[in-house]
Protein backbone atom coordinates (compact mmCIF):
# COMPACT_ATOMS: atom_id res chain seq x y z
CA UNK A 1 0.00 0.00 0.00
CA UNK A 2 1.12 3.58 -0.65
CA UNK A 3 1.60 5.55 2.56
CA UNK A 4 -0.17 8.88 2.57
CA UNK A 5 1.14 10.17 5.86
CA UNK A 6 -0.37 13.63 5.48
CA UNK A 7 -3.93 12.47 4.83
CA UNK A 8 -6.66 11.63 7.33
CA UNK A 9 -9.91 9.82 6.65
CA UNK A 10 -13.20 10.31 8.48
CA UNK A 11 -16.39 8.29 7.98
CA UNK A 12 -19.81 9.03 9.45
CA UNK A 13 -22.46 6.30 9.46
CA UNK A 14 -26.09 6.01 10.45
CA UNK A 15 -28.99 3.83 9.43
CA UNK A 16 -30.15 6.69 7.19
CA UNK A 17 -26.95 7.45 5.30
CA UNK A 18 -23.20 7.81 5.33
CA UNK A 19 -20.55 10.40 4.57
CA UNK A 20 -16.82 10.21 3.86
CA UNK A 21 -14.16 12.91 4.03
CA UNK A 22 -10.41 13.04 3.32
CA UNK A 23 -8.35 15.86 4.80
CA UNK A 24 -4.79 16.82 3.96
CA UNK A 25 -3.39 17.55 7.41
CA UNK A 26 -0.37 19.48 6.13
CA UNK A 27 -2.23 22.27 4.35
CA UNK A 28 -5.59 21.81 6.17
CA UNK A 29 -7.42 21.10 2.95
CA UNK A 30 -10.53 18.96 2.50
CA UNK A 31 -9.70 17.00 -0.63
CA UNK A 32 -12.67 14.63 -0.84
CA UNK A 33 -16.22 14.84 0.48
CA UNK A 34 -19.12 12.57 -0.41
CA UNK A 35 -22.40 11.51 1.15
CA UNK A 36 -25.26 9.11 0.52
CA UNK A 37 -28.78 9.52 1.92
CA UNK A 38 -30.66 6.22 1.93
CA UNK A 39 -34.25 6.13 0.69
CA UNK A 40 -35.28 4.44 3.92
CA UNK A 41 -33.75 3.46 7.23
CA UNK A 42 -31.54 0.45 6.54
CA UNK A 43 -30.17 -2.43 8.59
CA UNK A 44 -26.59 -2.27 9.92
CA UNK A 45 -25.54 -4.89 7.37
CA UNK A 46 -27.04 -2.96 4.47
CA UNK A 47 -25.14 0.10 5.69
CA UNK A 48 -22.01 -2.05 5.62
CA UNK A 49 -22.72 -2.96 1.99
CA UNK A 50 -23.06 0.72 1.05
CA UNK A 51 -19.85 1.62 2.87
CA UNK A 52 -17.89 -1.24 1.29
CA UNK A 53 -19.03 -0.07 -2.15
CA UNK A 54 -17.85 3.47 -1.40
CA UNK A 55 -14.49 2.27 -0.09
CA UNK A 56 -13.99 0.19 -3.23
CA UNK A 57 -13.89 3.35 -5.33
CA UNK A 58 -10.66 4.46 -6.94
CA UNK A 59 -10.00 7.25 -4.45
CA UNK A 60 -9.43 4.66 -1.70
CA UNK A 61 -7.63 1.99 -3.75
CA UNK A 62 -4.24 0.92 -2.38
CA UNK A 63 -4.12 3.82 0.04
CA UNK A 64 -3.38 4.09 3.73
CA UNK A 65 -4.00 7.09 5.95
CA UNK A 66 -2.18 8.90 8.70
CA UNK A 67 -5.28 8.55 10.86
CA UNK A 68 -8.79 7.17 10.49
CA UNK A 69 -11.89 8.35 12.34
CA UNK A 70 -15.34 6.78 12.48
CA UNK A 71 -18.44 8.63 13.71
CA UNK A 72 -21.60 6.77 14.71
CA UNK A 73 -24.79 8.84 14.44
CA UNK A 74 -27.90 7.47 16.15
CA UNK A 75 -30.33 8.21 18.97
CA UNK A 76 -28.94 5.40 21.14
CA UNK A 77 -26.87 7.52 23.51
CA UNK A 78 -27.05 9.13 26.92
CA UNK A 79 -24.82 11.32 29.08
CA UNK A 80 -23.62 10.42 32.56
CA UNK A 81 -21.64 12.71 34.93
CA UNK A 82 -18.08 11.39 35.25
CA UNK A 83 -18.33 11.29 39.03
CA UNK A 84 -21.19 8.77 38.86
CA UNK A 85 -19.95 6.73 35.91
CA UNK A 86 -19.10 3.05 36.32
CA UNK A 87 -18.15 1.03 33.26
CA UNK A 88 -20.00 -2.08 34.43
CA UNK A 89 -23.30 -0.15 34.37
CA UNK A 90 -23.36 0.86 30.69
CA UNK A 91 -26.62 -0.96 29.93
CA UNK A 92 -28.32 0.53 32.99
CA UNK A 93 -27.52 4.06 31.84
CA UNK A 94 -28.87 3.48 28.34
CA UNK A 95 -31.99 1.46 29.02
CA UNK A 96 -33.91 4.44 30.42
CA UNK A 97 -33.37 6.54 27.30
CA UNK A 98 -33.08 4.06 24.42
CA UNK A 99 -34.30 0.68 23.26
CA UNK A 100 -31.32 -1.65 23.47
CA UNK A 101 -30.94 -5.39 23.04
CA UNK A 102 -29.07 -7.72 25.35
CA UNK A 103 -26.74 -8.52 22.45
CA UNK A 104 -25.90 -4.85 21.71
CA UNK A 105 -22.27 -3.84 22.11
CA UNK A 106 -21.98 -0.69 24.23
CA UNK A 107 -19.23 1.89 24.22
CA UNK A 108 -18.55 5.32 25.70
CA UNK A 109 -16.67 8.58 25.11
CA UNK A 110 -15.25 10.84 27.81
CA UNK A 111 -16.09 14.52 27.31
CA UNK A 112 -13.71 16.51 29.45
CA UNK A 113 -15.25 19.89 28.61
CA UNK A 114 -18.24 19.21 30.83
CA UNK A 115 -16.94 16.23 32.83
CA UNK A 116 -19.41 13.77 31.35
CA UNK A 117 -19.39 10.35 29.70
CA UNK A 118 -21.39 9.65 26.54
CA UNK A 119 -22.67 6.05 26.59
CA UNK A 120 -23.91 4.71 23.24
CA UNK A 121 -24.42 1.80 20.85
CA UNK A 122 -21.97 1.78 17.91
CA UNK A 123 -22.46 -0.35 14.79
CA UNK A 124 -20.00 -3.14 15.56
CA UNK A 125 -20.02 -4.53 12.03
CA UNK A 126 -18.92 -1.11 10.74
CA UNK A 127 -16.15 -0.97 13.34
CA UNK A 128 -14.99 -4.39 12.15
CA UNK A 129 -15.06 -3.30 8.51
CA UNK A 130 -12.98 -0.20 9.21
CA UNK A 131 -10.36 -2.05 11.24
CA UNK A 132 -10.11 -4.73 8.52
CA UNK A 133 -9.60 -2.05 5.87
CA UNK A 134 -7.38 0.43 7.66
CA UNK A 135 -6.13 -1.04 10.91
CA UNK A 136 -6.05 1.24 13.94
CA UNK A 137 -8.76 3.90 14.09
CA UNK A 138 -10.66 6.13 16.52
CA UNK A 139 -14.43 6.06 16.83
CA UNK A 140 -16.86 8.34 18.63
CA UNK A 141 -20.56 9.11 18.78
CA UNK A 142 -21.69 12.06 16.67
CA UNK A 143 -22.99 13.91 19.73
CA UNK A 144 -19.53 13.73 21.30
CA UNK A 145 -17.95 15.38 18.25
CA UNK A 146 -20.69 17.99 18.06
CA UNK A 147 -20.53 18.97 21.74
CA UNK A 148 -16.73 19.00 21.89
CA UNK A 149 -16.62 21.24 18.81
CA UNK A 150 -19.22 23.66 20.11
CA UNK A 151 -17.50 23.94 23.49
CA UNK A 152 -14.21 24.84 21.81
CA UNK A 153 -15.40 27.18 19.07
CA UNK A 154 -18.73 28.78 19.83
CA UNK A 155 -19.20 28.87 23.57
CA UNK A 156 -20.64 32.20 24.79
CA UNK A 157 -21.39 32.41 28.50
CA UNK A 158 -23.35 35.66 28.26
CA UNK A 159 -26.62 34.28 26.88
CA UNK A 160 -28.36 30.91 26.57
CA UNK A 161 -27.50 29.43 23.20
CA UNK A 162 -29.17 26.69 21.15
CA UNK A 163 -27.59 24.82 18.25
CA UNK A 164 -29.68 22.76 15.82
CA UNK A 165 -27.97 20.30 13.50
CA UNK A 166 -30.33 18.64 11.01
CA UNK A 167 -29.36 15.59 8.95
CA UNK A 168 -31.37 12.97 7.06
CA UNK A 169 -34.73 13.15 8.83
CA UNK A 170 -33.53 13.97 12.33
CA UNK A 171 -31.96 16.85 14.20
CA UNK A 172 -29.75 17.29 17.23
CA UNK A 173 -30.50 20.03 19.72
CA UNK A 174 -27.72 21.28 21.99
CA UNK A 175 -28.34 23.92 24.67
CA UNK A 176 -25.72 25.88 26.62
CA UNK A 177 -26.59 28.12 29.56
CA UNK A 178 -24.57 29.60 32.41
CA UNK A 179 -21.34 28.20 30.93
CA UNK A 180 -22.73 24.65 31.01
CA UNK A 181 -24.21 22.10 28.64
CA UNK A 182 -27.78 21.83 29.92
CA UNK A 183 -29.48 19.77 27.21
CA UNK A 184 -28.82 17.42 24.32
CA UNK A 185 -31.24 15.25 22.41
CA UNK A 186 -31.90 13.90 18.93
CA UNK A 187 -35.40 14.13 17.43
CA UNK A 188 -36.89 12.64 14.30
CA UNK A 189 -38.86 15.07 12.17
CA UNK A 190 -40.46 15.24 8.74
CA UNK A 191 -42.14 18.68 8.67
CA UNK A 192 -41.27 22.21 9.79
CA UNK A 193 -44.08 21.91 12.32
CA UNK A 194 -42.34 18.89 13.90
CA UNK A 195 -39.12 20.85 14.16
CA UNK A 196 -40.73 23.91 15.70
CA UNK A 197 -42.72 21.84 18.18
CA UNK A 198 -39.67 20.05 19.59
CA UNK A 199 -37.59 23.22 19.77
CA UNK A 200 -40.25 25.41 21.37
CA UNK A 201 -41.38 22.69 23.78
CA UNK A 202 -37.79 22.13 24.92
CA UNK A 203 -37.27 25.85 25.37
CA UNK A 204 -40.40 26.02 27.49
CA UNK A 205 -39.28 23.10 29.65
CA UNK A 206 -35.87 24.75 30.18
CA UNK A 207 -37.42 28.16 30.86
CA UNK A 208 -35.56 29.73 27.96
CA UNK A 209 -36.84 33.06 26.70
CA UNK A 210 -37.67 33.31 23.00
CA UNK A 211 -36.55 36.97 23.26
CA UNK A 212 -33.14 36.42 24.87
CA UNK A 213 -31.97 33.01 23.67
CA UNK A 214 -29.60 32.75 20.70
CA UNK A 215 -30.52 29.98 18.23
CA UNK A 216 -28.17 28.88 15.46
CA UNK A 217 -28.87 26.30 12.77
CA UNK A 218 -25.79 24.32 11.71
CA UNK A 219 -26.54 21.83 8.95
CA UNK A 220 -29.55 20.86 6.88
CA UNK A 221 -31.27 24.26 7.06
CA UNK A 222 -30.79 27.52 5.17
CA UNK A 223 -32.40 30.95 5.47
CA UNK A 224 -34.77 30.32 2.56
CA UNK A 225 -36.41 27.10 3.67
CA UNK A 226 -39.56 26.51 5.70
CA UNK A 227 -37.68 25.08 8.70
CA UNK A 228 -35.83 28.35 9.21
CA UNK A 229 -38.88 30.51 8.53
CA UNK A 230 -41.13 28.80 11.06
CA UNK A 231 -38.63 29.17 13.90
CA UNK A 232 -37.91 32.76 12.87
CA UNK A 233 -41.56 33.55 13.63
CA UNK A 234 -41.15 32.61 17.29
CA UNK A 235 -37.51 33.09 18.34
CA UNK A 236 -36.03 36.59 18.12
CA UNK A 237 -32.35 35.78 17.48
CA UNK A 238 -32.22 33.05 14.82
CA UNK A 239 -29.54 32.63 12.19
CA UNK A 240 -27.31 30.15 10.37
CA UNK A 241 -24.05 29.35 12.14
CA UNK A 242 -21.13 30.98 10.40
CA UNK A 243 -18.44 28.29 10.41
CA UNK A 244 -14.87 29.32 11.11
CA UNK A 245 -13.09 26.10 10.21
CA UNK A 246 -9.88 27.66 8.84
CA UNK A 247 -9.86 25.08 6.06
CA UNK A 248 -9.26 24.97 2.34
CA UNK A 249 -11.47 22.94 0.02
CA UNK A 250 -10.90 21.16 -3.28
CA UNK A 251 -12.47 22.94 -6.25
CA UNK A 252 -15.08 20.23 -6.80
CA UNK A 253 -16.50 20.58 -3.26
CA UNK A 254 -19.55 22.82 -2.97
CA UNK A 255 -18.70 25.26 -0.18
CA UNK A 256 -22.40 26.03 0.33
CA UNK A 257 -22.95 22.50 1.66
CA UNK A 258 -20.08 22.47 4.19
CA UNK A 259 -22.31 23.00 7.23
CA UNK A 260 -24.32 19.93 6.19
CA UNK A 261 -21.19 17.92 7.05
CA UNK A 262 -20.35 19.85 10.19
CA UNK A 263 -19.82 16.84 12.47
CA UNK A 264 -17.87 14.85 9.88
CA UNK A 265 -15.48 17.70 9.10
CA UNK A 266 -14.93 18.52 12.77
CA UNK A 267 -14.28 14.87 13.67
CA UNK A 268 -10.62 15.34 12.68
CA UNK A 269 -10.04 17.71 15.61
User: Residue ranges per domain, the chain?
Assistant: 1-153+245-269, 155-240
Fold of 1-153+245-269: Nucleotidyltransferase; domain 5 (3.30.420)
Q: Does CATH number 3.30.420.260 belong to domain 155-240?
A: yes
What's the mean pLDDT in 18-43?
A: 94
Nearest to 47 by CA among 74, 21, 18, 26: 18
Q: What's this model's pTM, rounded to 2 decimal places?
A: 0.92
Which pLDDT score, from 0 to 100, does residue 100 have? 83
CATH topology match: 1-153+245-269 vs 155-240: yes
Quick check: 66 and 135 in contact, CB under 8 A?
Answer: no
Distance CA 219, CA 156 (A): 20
- Of 53-62, 196-205, 221-230, where does mean pLDDT reach its minimum? 53-62
Nearest to 213 by CA among 202, 221, 222: 202
Which pLDDT score, from 0 to 100, does residue 154 have? 62
144-182 confidence digits (pLDDT tens): 999 999 988 766 667 899 999 998 789 999 999 887 899
Q: Is the dihedral of CA 78, 84, 87, 92 positive or negative?
A: negative
Q: Is the pLDDT of residue 225 over 80?
A: yes
105-137 confidence digits (pLDDT tens): 999 999 998 899 999 999 999 999 999 999 999
Distance CA 143, CA 29 (A): 24
Which pLDDT score, from 0 to 100, does residue 157 have? 63
Amino acid sequence: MNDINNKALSIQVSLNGLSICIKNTLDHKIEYLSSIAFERSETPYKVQDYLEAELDKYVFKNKSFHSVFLVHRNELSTFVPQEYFQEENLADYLKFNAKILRSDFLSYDNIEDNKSVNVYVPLVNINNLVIDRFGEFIYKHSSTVLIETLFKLYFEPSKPKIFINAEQGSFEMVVFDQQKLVFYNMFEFSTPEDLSYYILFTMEQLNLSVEKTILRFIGGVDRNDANFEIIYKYVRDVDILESDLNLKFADEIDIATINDHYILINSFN
